[in-house]
Structure 1
Amino acid sequence: MTIMERTLKKLDFDRIRIRLAGLCLLKGAENRVAGLCPFVDKQSVRDALRETDQAKELLRLNPQFSVRGAKDIQPFLERCGLGAVLDPEELLQIRDTLKVARRVRQFLLEDKGDYSSLREIVYPIEPQRGLEDEITRCISEEGTVVDGASPELAQLRRSVLRLQQKIRESVESFLRNPAYQKMLQDPIVTQRAERYVVPVKQEYRAAFAGIVHDQSGSGATLFIEPMPVVHLGNELRETVLKEQREVLRILQQFSRDIGNCSAVLTVMYESLIRLDFVLAKARLSWEMNAGAPLLLDRAEVRLVQARHPLLGEGAVPLTAELGISFDSLVITGPNTGGKTVALKTIGLLVAMGQAGLHIPAEDGSRLGVFSRIFVDIGDEQSVEQSLSTFSGHMRNIVEVINEADGRSLVLLDEVGAGTDPTEGAALAMAVLEELHERGARVVATTHYGALKSFAYRTERVENASVDFDEATLRPTYRLLIGIPGKSNAFNIASRLGLKESVLAKAKTFLSERDLQMADLIENLEDSQRDIERERLRVREELRLAGEERRRLEQDRLRQAEEQRALLVRSRDEATEVIRQAKREAAAIVAELKNALKQEHKDAQEIEKARQRLRRLSDRLERMEEPMRPQGVGLKAEELKPGQTLYMTKLRQKGQILQLPDENGEVLLQAGIMKVSVPLAELRPVPEDKPKKKTGTGGAGGLGLHKAENVRSEVDLRGMLVEEATYQLDKYLDDAILAGIGQIYVIHGKGTGALRAGVQEFLRNHPHVRSFRLGQHGEGDFGVTVVELK
């Protein structure tokens, strides 16, 4: 079951097709667009919308992605199948298409995005890289077969050039011969019928031996091929024919190869057509600022701020629903055009959604899948069939009555029009009631007042109207659900200058009930406008509140960024001071070591150096104190020996060896090092998580106090270069104080980035005498062996 083409045409779906076809690059894709129709099963609609969704996301991230460069090669494939020979230009078009197919397939299969539907399209493509490269090798971009296409062709073309040169030299010798100069009209060499000739005066024809190939218009000049070069011309002609046969052979071979794989190339071409078609749907979605509706199992329509896609920027948003709180919608009011626009917008967007196209509507829009869409819009008068407007409408309505069911969407414009108003209104109510009982979803427009009462008293039937500006006498095209329209005939007539006495007389012909109904409708419209104004006011307040919230969030983020930048700058300045202090400490340590090595130790000098070292350590501790993170929430009474904590400054874990001392520092075991860390720099970690292997490093006193149980190796695996060099610097100070002469820096093999960073750091370190990579048994490239001063 399909939705009839005449129904789609009434909804202007064919104009959507034209717009979509204009976004296609391949003729085959345009042909596919011409056959685009709404699907009537949910799975097909879902698949088609998913394709459009993924293509739109792909174009968002890769705006230049397309099948541009591919050509419509189906006629070439068909000709090759019949044994025809393609010319070089056609081979280049096939080559370009092969290249595009290979590239789009490779991109979609390698990209990590959610493009499953698009991958299904290109997966059947079998790249023909060999054929693609061979065409590139043999055919120039100018569309000629190159010399290197075959050894025979190269040899023949060299022979052609050699013979042409030999002929030209021989003919030119005639021009230089004094005996012939008086016979020549001009001393030039030219060609006629692909033979080299010279212009000879008519009167010397008998004296000049050769073959005449042409003569001038006046007959005074003969173009003669000199006899001595005739045999060379014959040889050249034979060689040229051989060259042409070799070129033909090469083209025939390519055509046979293409014919042999025509089935594979046809699949490839069809995949490109389908991909181009899907990308065109995505481009159309971008152009219309559209999106995918939520697909439902039930026959339901919910359009939020929907816009007619063919009205451009002038389209007034429309919010409408069917199948939720009511199944039939009766739009009443004067013949201003707004009702028909609303009707067409609903029908066209339903058809577009079921065809796999995005619809220009806001989030929250949702559509069911209808098996049939019936439309009766416009003048159905037919001279050929002797049908009046009323008869034409009734013929359509009879078809609707006979075929509509609970999965049908019925759109009726000016139902019951074209006949006596009383009978037309009664007939319209009967039709609407019949369709309503069948369970169809119905939108009907009318200017009959009787249908307003019908909508009021019938369950799950709702009134609606298109708002009308009485000041300008023009419709606003805003659809008002729940409020019936009024004719505004008296108001319009009054504003156009009709006498009040005539209006008063007209009102006497209305019944009391009609007047009460008009007053009721006017009161309802006033209430609706008040509600609408309040709704707009609340929406504006919400918008302003949202903007204020976003502004505050931006301020918060900006302040956080400024604070972070300030902290980074402070740390950089402190780090520079610390480095300077470390260099000073290194000099003190060197003096201390020299003093210890002297045969006659000067105890006073040694003590003086130690005091300088302690003062420097205290100064650096005081500098570091303000930079320690505050308020992590750990309390001393919550800690217990063996507990695992995370050291925020060192970015690693450690186990508690000793609880906090009087200075609030906790002794932890971190790898092979024992580290004293302030309580404020610790935070808890889950006990049951596996412990990651952490690098070795020290803290507290910035490495200026000698660590306990310093080993001759430090493990930096798993660290970043900056973190590793920081830990290594502290360890080198401890190793120097411990008197260790050789250490092993374990950095692992990995990508080599950590090894390079460590060795670059060691190259300029004051404690390092030399370093080398580990040998077999020492860890190979995963270890650097360092000799200390």
Structure 2
Amino acid sequence: MLYPDNSADKLGFTEVKELIKAHCLSTMGQQMVDKIQVMNNFDLIKKFLSQAHEFKNILQNDAALPINHFFDIKALANKIRLEGAFLAEEEFFQILASLTTVFAVIGYFNEREGQYPNLEALFEHLPIEKSILKKIDMVIDQKGKIRPNASRELQDITSGISKAEQEARKKIDQIFKSAASNGWTADGSLTIRDGRLCIPLLAENKRKVKGFIHDESSTGQTVYLEPEEVFTLNNRIRDLEFERRREIIKILTQLTDELRPYVPLLLSYHGLLTKLDFVRAKALFALDVEGEMPVVVNEARVRLTNARHPLLFLSFKKEHKTVVPLNVSIDEGTRIITVSGPNAGGKSVCMKTLGLLQMMVQAGLLIPADESSTVGVFRQMFVDIGDDQSIESDLSTYSAHLSKMKHFVEMANGKTLILIDEFGTGTDPQFGGPIAEAVLESLNHKKVRGMVTTHYSNLKIFSSNTEGIENASMLFDNQQMKPLYQLEVGKPGSSYAFEIAQKIGLPPQVLNLAKNKISAGQKKVDTLLVDLEREKKEIYDTRIQLNRQQKRVDDLLSENEKLKNYLEENQKALIRDAKQQAKEIITNANKLVENTISEIKSSQADKETTRNLRENLSKELQKNTVKVETTAKPSSDEEELKVGDWVKLVDSTTTGQIIEIAKDNIIIAIGDLRTVAKRKRVQKVSRKEVPKEIRRAGTSASSTSDMASFSPEIDVRGMRGEDAIHTIEKLLDRAIMMSFGSLKIIHGKGDGILRKLIRGYFKKYDQISHMEDEHADRGGDGITYIYLK
């Protein structure tokens, strides 16, 4: 599958396994990580990837799995197999703790039946045998010690020991007090010597108390004596302790015999714990490197989108730097990619990223690339990276390369992925180039997939003229003379040998001498490549700028459309209100006229009464007449109007505040309403001329509208770090403008990565007073409160 044997070391796969091992809770899980291999069984690959993906979802979005204890049940089960053997108290406690974890995990997934099918398959048809727990629990307590009432005999023995100890203590206290009252004792209290409780006596009084001397002080003035009466009791206690030990062994042996039929089941539980620890470690590593599950196909092709080298990603993460993502595709049309470009431009890292991510996927590991990436399955992976010269095998650098090329040409096929770094180097370029070209042509005929890096011009030309092989280059900023670490497929790249030498400071005469020594054709090709790359860079920058401008235009058009709809809706509301008011005025006027006529007719009023009635009618008419001020001068084009100014419509007394100016149109806020007027139809007025109630209404209308639509709570679970920060920043800006006191950020628990990122980032804001967790009953450290000054 892998050739040579050290390919995993060359690509960094061994280092990835060590990082995964660091996340394991048990030695069993670590041993399983050591056994990770690159597979070519499509179904197994997809199953292992799905398991890691589901566990990652649990860590990010679900309650924590109840995984508390991992012990090596397999070793204990093998010990139980042996007739006559018995487990110690601590070993039974390990089984008890491990089985409690197993049953809790099975219960966790049973509550979420169907949600994590690939993880559920780990314990499919595995019974929950709680009788094992009951048997152990009757003998072993929660501290891992044997219960005093594990048997009737043990209970009697334990009780006898307790009584004998109390009697012995009581007796020696009496003797000690009597000796002390007679002045026979030395300074001090009862003490332990040789495991026996003794009385400190002055040496000259040692014959006055019958007993056994166990020790004396360094000066010989004090002896430590065990009274004769107590000696008999202590021997009785010692005998009882031996009986207790024999009874404990008997109980443990009996319990071991009871568990012997369950050995196969215990081994199954051990397998589940080991697999859970293993999958958990893979999921935690995926979180570290922002790994995702790509689309897996049973074909010899690969398409990586925004892929990053996991080891480089972790290294840069510590330094707060970002890795330039890789986008590459290898399929039936583009089988081999020939990458060229300057030294230290990222060619080898690009190739190692492709190889390492392919190995990770075929080993069932999530990779740091977009989930839209497609990764196939290769039967073989051949790698030629670095210097493999060997003194023992009498191989030079080039001989070692040729030895690998021989194996590649003989053994490779259409389902082989080859990775060759610095193709053809190690010998005279005049001969190494043609040999490399011949090897590449042979591999291409076999429909091999892969990537090679080179500086040889003949390989660049061959790749551009051969079907199935595509040139690619690592972009280089030839103005600032620094690599961009971006892979550009479709054209070869220059080595920038002279440009880099010039930047380093090689003397001009040496550079000119070197330029004169290369052929005119080669010089022309290299110059053309440099010019092409410069033009490509300019086009790329221009395209980015155009995309930004287009996005700005699209945003403005969308905003304009929303404003238009809003104005149309307000216009309809104004017309509707005006019609309603007109209807009410007409109705009231009709009633007034009818009442006036009725009074004139009924009272046969004289001229004076009629005149009074007509005056009342005229007054009501004036109340509903709009005054037109002909003295007001329209606002001239030269008069400067800006957002926030107070204006009055020239044909009415209506006053409002400008909220937006669009060419000749002015959008005015009149209380809770909005209207559009031509510039020439408004007149600027001072703030003092505006009634207080209108100023308050105008101010509160906009702020109330904004306040009503504003929510101080946001949920960023499932977002990428950068997107979450950007979203919270916008919310924080609005909160500061509206003088909100606090914000509630829901980011979930998981491993706390998103929480640390958010809190670390917003510590720099002076407007933030402090941050704290939600109450444990309402989300705990899955929710952060941001308090503003």
- Normalising by the smaller structure, the TM-score range is 0.5 to 0.7
Q: Distance in 2 between matches of 1:398 and 1:442?
A: 16
Partner of 1:139: 140
Q: Distance in 2 between matches of 1:413 and 1:472?
A: 27
SS at match of 1:138: coil
Partner of 1:529: 537
Partner of 2:751: none
Out of 512, 518, 522, which is 1:514 matched to? 522
Q: Distance in 1 between matches of 2:555 and 2:181?
A: 98
Out of 412, 424, 428, which is 1:416 matched to? 424
Q: Distance in 1 between matches of 2:18 and 2:556?
A: 44
Instruction: With the length of structure 1 as denominator, give the TM-score of the two structures.
Output: 0.66
Q: Distance in 1 between matches of 2:532 and 2:272?
A: 57
User: Size of the alignment, in residue pairs?
Assistant: 559
The answer to whether the 8 Å contact 1:468/1:475 transfers is yes
Q: Distance in 1 between matches of 2:4 and 2:499?
A: 42
1:47 counterpart = 2:47: yes
Seen in structure 2, the aligned counterparts of structure 1 residues 45 and 143 have a Cα distance that, compared at 3 Å, is closer
The answer to whether the 8 Å contact 2:475/2:533 transfers is no
Q: Which amino acid aligns with 1:60?
A: Q
**Which deviations, in whole Å up to 9, do the C-alpha atoms of 1:8-36 show, x marking residues without a partner?**
11111011111111122221111111111
Q: Distance in 1 between matches of 2:538 and 2:148?
A: 84
SS at match of 1:478: strand
Report which stretch shifted further, 543-552 or 487-496: 543-552
Q: Distance in 1 between matches of 2:383 and 2:48?
A: 24
What does residue range 550-699 of structure 1 map to in structure 2 within 5 Å? none
Partner of 2:243: 242
Q: Which amino acid aligns with 1:35?
A: K
Seen in structure 2, the aligned counterparts of structure 1 residues 157 and 16 have a Cα distance that, compared at 3 Å, is same
Partner of 2:160: 159
Partner of 1:653: none
**Which deviations, in whole Å up to 9, do the C-alpha atoms of 1:314-371 show, x marking residues without a partner?**
3211111111431111111232251110110110111111111111112431111000
Partner of 1:36: 36
The answer to whether the 8 Å contact 1:38/1:352 transfers is yes
Partner of 2:337: 329
By how many angstroms is 1:116 displaced? 1.3
What does residue range 485-524 of structure 1 map to in structure 2 within 5 Å? 485-498=493-506, 500=508, 502-524=510-532
Out of 332, 347, 362, which is 1:354 matched to? 362
1:478 counterpart = 2:486: yes
Q: Distance in 2 between matches of 1:51 and 1:546?
A: 42
By how many angstroms is 1:165 displaced? 1.5
Partner of 1:778: none
Query: Percent same amino acid among aligned pairs?
Result: 32
By how many angstroms is 1:554 displaced? 12
Partner of 2:379: 371
Q: Distance in 2 between matches of 1:494 and 1:227?
A: 101
SS at match of 1:40: coil
**Which deviations, in whole Å up to 9, do the C-alpha atoms of 1:231-283 show, x marking residues without a partner?**
32332222222222222223333333444422211110111111221122222
Partner of 2:603: none
Q: Which amino acid aligns with 1:12?
A: G
Partner of 2:466: 458
The answer to whether the 8 Å contact 1:484/1:521 transfers is yes
Seen in structure 2, the aligned counterparts of structure 1 residues 183 and 388 have a Cα distance that, compared at 3 Å, is same
By how many angstroms is 1:70 displaced? 2.4
Partner of 1:310: 311
Out of 393, 396, 410, which is 1:388 matched to? 396
By how many angstroms is 1:125 displaced? 3.7
1:71 counterpart = 2:79: no
Q: Distance in 2 between matches of 1:486 and 1:382?
A: 33
By how many angstroms is 1:478 displaced? 0.9
By how many angstroms is 1:110 displaced? 2.5
The answer to whether the 8 Å contact 1:160/1:239 transfers is yes
Q: Distance in 2 between matches of 1:555 and 1:106?
A: 55
Q: Distance in 2 between matches of 1:504 and 1:29?
A: 62
Seen in structure 2, the aligned counterparts of structure 1 residues 370 and 448 have a Cα distance that, compared at 3 Å, is same
The answer to whether the 8 Å contact 1:466/1:485 transfers is yes
Q: Which amino acid aligns with 2:294?
A: P
Q: Distance in 2 between matches of 1:520 and 1:111?
A: 62
1:177 counterpart = 2:165: no
The answer to whether the 8 Å contact 2:65/2:108 transfers is no
The answer to whether the 8 Å contact 2:345/2:484 transfers is no
Partner of 1:638: none
The answer to whether the 8 Å contact 1:338/1:477 transfers is yes
Partner of 1:89: 90
**Which deviations, in whole Å up to 9, do the C-alpha atoms of 1:681-731 show, x marking residues without a partner?**
xxxxxxxxxxxxxxxxxxxxxxxxxxxxxxxxxxxxxxxxxxxxxxxxxxx
By how many angstroms is 1:37 displaced? 1.2
The answer to whether the 8 Å contact 1:198/1:225 transfers is yes
The answer to whether the 8 Å contact 1:332/1:449 transfers is no
Partner of 1:59: 59
What does residue range 175-324 of structure 1 map to in structure 2 within 5 Å? 175-177=176-178, 181-186=182-187, 188-312=189-313, 313=316, 314-324=322-332
Partner of 2:101: 100
Report which stretch shifted further, 224-233 or 338-347: 224-233
Higher relative contact order (CA 8 A, sep 6+): 2
Q: Which amino acid aligns with 1:70?
A: F
Q: Which amino acid aligns with 1:297?
A: N
Partner of 1:616: none
Q: Which amino acid aligns with 2:169?
A: R
The answer to whether the 8 Å contact 1:2/1:371 transfers is no
Seen in structure 2, the aligned counterparts of structure 1 residues 296 and 93 have a Cα distance that, compared at 3 Å, is same
Q: Which amino acid aligns with 1:59?
A: L
Q: Distance in 2 between matches of 1:406 and 1:49?
A: 25
1:15 counterpart = 2:23: no
Instruction: With the length of structure 2 as denominator, give the TM-score of the two structures.
Output: 0.66
**Which deviations, in whole Å up to 9, do the C-alpha atoms of 1:513-565 show, x marking residues without a partner?**
22332243234323432443344345546766898899999999x99xxxxxx
Q: Which amino acid aligns with 1:245?
A: R
By how many angstroms is 1:207 displaced? 4.0
Q: Which amino acid aligns with 1:76?
A: L
Seen in structure 2, the aligned counterparts of structure 1 residues 62 and 546 have a Cα distance that, compared at 3 Å, is farther
By how many angstroms is 1:196 displaced? 3.6
Q: Distance in 1 between matches of 2:561 and 2:348?
A: 46
Seen in structure 2, the aligned counterparts of structure 1 residues 104 and 548 have a Cα distance that, compared at 3 Å, is farther
The answer to whether the 8 Å contact 1:2/1:39 transfers is no
The answer to whether the 8 Å contact 1:98/1:128 transfers is no
By how many angstroms is 1:74 displaced? 3.0
The answer to whether the 8 Å contact 1:124/1:268 transfers is no
1:345 counterpart = 2:346: no
SS at match of 2:149: helix
Seen in structure 2, the aligned counterparts of structure 1 residues 236 and 186 have a Cα distance that, compared at 3 Å, is farther
SS at match of 2:311: coil
Partner of 1:467: 475
Report which stretch shifted further, 35-44 or 96-105: 35-44
By how many angstroms is 1:91 displaced? 2.2
Q: Which amino acid aligns with 1:219?
A: G
**Which deviations, in whole Å up to 9, do the C-alpha atoms of 1:159-182 show, x marking residues without a partner?**
212111112222222234369834
> Which runs of no fewer than 5 residues in structure 2 stay unpaired?
317-321, 568-789
SS at match of 1:304: strand
Report which stretch shifted further, 335-344 or 411-420: 335-344
Partner of 2:583: none
> Which runs of no fewer than 5 residues in structure 1 stay unpaired?
560-789
1:148 counterpart = 2:149: yes
Q: Distance in 1 between matches of 2:558 and 2:150?
A: 66
Q: Distance in 2 between matches of 1:548 and 1:19?
A: 48
The answer to whether the 8 Å contact 2:478/2:534 transfers is no
SS at match of 1:39: coil
Seen in structure 2, the aligned counterparts of structure 1 residues 178 and 214 have a Cα distance that, compared at 3 Å, is closer
Q: Distance in 2 between matches of 1:549 and 1:152?
A: 90
